[in-house]
Amino acid sequence: MTELRRRFDEVAELYDRARPRYPPALVEELARVAGLGPGSRVLEIGPGTGQLTVPLAGYGCLITCVELGASMAAVARRRLSGFPRVDVVVSDFEGWEPPAEPYDLVVSATAFHWIDPAVRTAKAARALRPGGRLAVVATEHVAGGSTEFFARAQRCYERWDPAAPPGLRLLPSSRTATDTAEFEESPWYGPVTVGRFEQDIDYTTDGYLDVLLTYSNHRALEPAAREGLFGCLRELIDGSYGGRVTKRYLHGLIVAVRAET
């Protein structure tokens, strides 16, 4: 997993251009439940190139970002250059030492699952003040948009990706649960709430393949297999879907309150 999570840094500029931003309603809900404002202290784990950081910075928070990849951090710093209260640190979260003053919010958007599970929940809690919030955004691809395309695309994966599970099909969001057990079972946290936000993103053929190039499992494929997979997908999108497909994302916003003791 360590090798996979470092692959994002290979394509930092593409990642920034291709990855979707988070729905405004999600950002607004996060700001509401965390009570964000100019006096808030925020720690973001794995900001990438700032997909969530930029809108959070608009609330005037003091934000510390801990990003594993130096290239990703460089892009994030460029995007956040207009926000002097944001600091981007290059480090893995496991080895990073938090300051003595605690944070009001620790947030991780589509990155928490990359952190060592033996470390992440407890270390986030130790960085929080009692009553502070840990917010984790978990992103999934669910049924919707160009559903038929994704069913047909599975044949491309089964041909070219040896790790592809046979017959995989997307589930509708109504049948997709957001896993909160890690937070509910932790002695560090009290109440846990979940918000769910969907968005459809339209892609051209090139745009969709660009997104796939930012996924670590696609980058880990052997070059010949990746070329074959992308060629298969390109032929399918251009030949049967007029060069455009729509992907539906489900973003689960998990918020856990740091216990008082």
The answer to whether residue 121 sits within a structural domain is: yes
Q: Specify if 157 maps to a domain.
A: no
Provide the 3-class DSSP secondary structure of residue 159: helix
160-203 tens-digit pLDDT: 998 898 888 999 999 998 999 999 999 999 999 999 999 999 99
pLDDT at 177: 87
**Count of CB atoms within 10 A of residue 56's CB?**
27
d(CA 125, CA 116): 14
**Helix (H/G/I), strand (E/B), else coil: 111:** coil
Residues 6+ apart with CB under 8 A from 75: 12, 13, 15, 16, 49, 50
The label of the residue with tokens 């957001």 reads 178
Structural domain count, the chain? 1
Evaluate whether 38 touches 16 at the Cβ level (below 8 Å): no
Of the candidates 138, 167, 130, which has an alpha carbon nearest to the alpha carbon of residue 52?
Answer: 138
- Position 233 in a domain: no
Whole-model pTM?
0.94
Predicted local distance difference test score (pLDDT) of residue 261: 67
Domain that holds residue 67: 1-141+171-200+248-258
Does 242 fall in a domain?
no
Q: Does residue 228 form part of some domain?
A: no
What pLDDT does residue 129 have?
A: 97
Q: What is the CATH number of the domain that holds 7?
A: 3.40.50.150
Q: What stretches in the chain show pLDDT beneath 50?
A: none
* Cα 30 from Cα 208, distance rounded (Å): 28
Alpha-helix runs per DSSP H in 7-117:
12-18, 24-34, 53-57, 70-79
* 103 located within any domain: yes
Note whether residue 221 is domain-resident: no
Is the residue at 235 inside a domain?
no
